[in-house]
Amino acid sequence: MRAAAGINPDAMTAAGGNRRVPLVAHVIYRLDVGGLENGVVNLVNRIPAERFRHAIICLTEKSDFSRRIKREDVPIFALGKPPGNSPATHFKLWRLLRRLKPDICHTRNLAALEGALPAALAGVPVRIHGEHGRDIGDLNGSDPGRRLLRRLFKPFVHQYIALSQDLDEYLQNSMGVSPERIAQIYNGVDTELFHPAPGGREPLPLPGGEAENLFVVGTVGRMQAVKDPLNLVKAFVQLVRASPDAEKRLRLVMIGDGPLREHALTMLREAGCADRAWLPGSRDDVARILRGFDLFVLPSLAEGVSNTILEAMATGLPVLATDVGGNPELVRAGRTGLLVPPEDPGRLAQAIRGYLEDAALGLRHGREARNVVDECYGMKAMVDAYVRVYDDALARAGLLRAGVRTGN
């Protein structure tokens, strides 16, 4: 067996013997509130310690979100990368990887893909890259510069993970990645933490208090352009103005922070709807807040596989989402929710009104949504899939015999 960075041949025994627990270095742009970051946290917390060790490397910075890592043996590094290209950051990453000697480097999304080259130069034997979704600068993956970067770094990646079928097809058809180099793994959701409200909708600190027959439309997500929160604000205002019933009953909840939060508040104030909306910023009690919704809405311009859609489905909520990215793979239109075109507040308002006027429809879609999550999107299934990818990649690198699990 060849000596490779992070692997001590003397510590590797024959199949069935004791093995050094492999180390995975997760390279991400920033550790802060977000779906990608939440997925990393869930994976690190839930992969058994005897199977894999972990280190998290943030190219830029980390926030208090890092406290969600429950394992005490997971170091977190922040390299302080400035905007734009930074050879100094690449050198820092190379030097850190040389010191850590990970068995696997797992980069995520285009912002961290550049980490594959320092990982290769540092001798990391297995390099995996995950595609989680797109941003406002490249909604459909057609930007020439970004496509070029993906192609330039492709030789340094052994294995890709696509979070949706849409991203899987993009890697194959647009990037020329062979199917055998791609594993498609959906996010998992904690169905114990996210569950339906046992006694009906939980009360929320809504403007004017909880009144009889209220209908709460809510969303959770970063308040930035790619999530298009202003589309939901426009739809809400249109519906309140057009329907006396909506004006009386409808309430809007938007959880999350970002550059568009103040804009959303201003729009609501100018429309005379501020007394019907609650925008508290980021919250740590999202699971409880979701149980206070009647309808979950995701108005994004682009998505990979949305954690918040899965969390809403696990909560037993009908989901109204834009027909973009991986959303159609999660929302089974007419069964667990509805899909509408992006950037169309009129269609969004019309769909919200349908749920407002037909309570039975929302209850039926919400029950089916929970059933779908239980069947298809459990956390264990996601964790097991990642472990299989890691094991198979180690085996292909000659560091683990095919079919043998790590940590045995």
92-106 average pLDDT score: 98
What pLDDT digit, counting tens, does each position of 246-272 carry?
A: 999 999 999 999 999 999 999 999 999
Domains 9-187+379-396 and 215-376 share a fold: yes
Across-strand partners of 23?
53
Band of the pLDDT at 19, cuts 50, 70, 90? low
DSSP assigned state of 72: T
- Are 219 and 299 within 8 A, CB to CB? yes
218-246 average pLDDT score: 96
31-38 average pLDDT score: 89
Domain 9-187+379-396 is of which CATH architecture? 3-Layer(aba) Sandwich (3.40)
Would the pLDDT of 151 be above 60? Answer: yes
Q: Which pLDDT value is given to residue 287?
A: 96
**CATH number of the 215-376 domain:** 3.40.50.2000
What pLDDT digit, counting tens, does each position of 292-324 carry?
A: 999 999 999 999 889 999 999 999 999 999 999
Q: Report the sign of the C-alpha dihedral through residues 189, 194, 198, 201, in that order.
A: negative
Q: Which residue has the tokens 């239980």?
A: 374
Least confident interval from 5-9, 125-129, 354-358, 390-394? 5-9
Domains in the chain: boundaries: 9-187+379-396, 215-376
Q: Which pLDDT value is given to residue 173?
A: 95
Q: CA 225 to CA 233: how far, in whole Å?
A: 13
**Exposure on the CB side of residue 393, measured as CA atoms within 13 A:** 27
Transcribe 174-232 into DSSP letters.
TT---GGGEEE----B-TTTS---BTBSPP---TT---TT-EEEEEES--SGGG-HHHH
Percent of the chain with pLDDT strictly greater than 70? 93
Q: Is 92 left (phi over 0), alpha (psi -120 to 50) or beta?
A: alpha
140-169 average pLDDT score: 93
Would the pLDDT of 402 be above 50? Answer: no
Would the pLDDT of 13 be above 60? Answer: no
Q: Which residue has the tokens 């298009």?
A: 228
Q: CA 290 to CA 159: how far, in whole Å?
A: 36
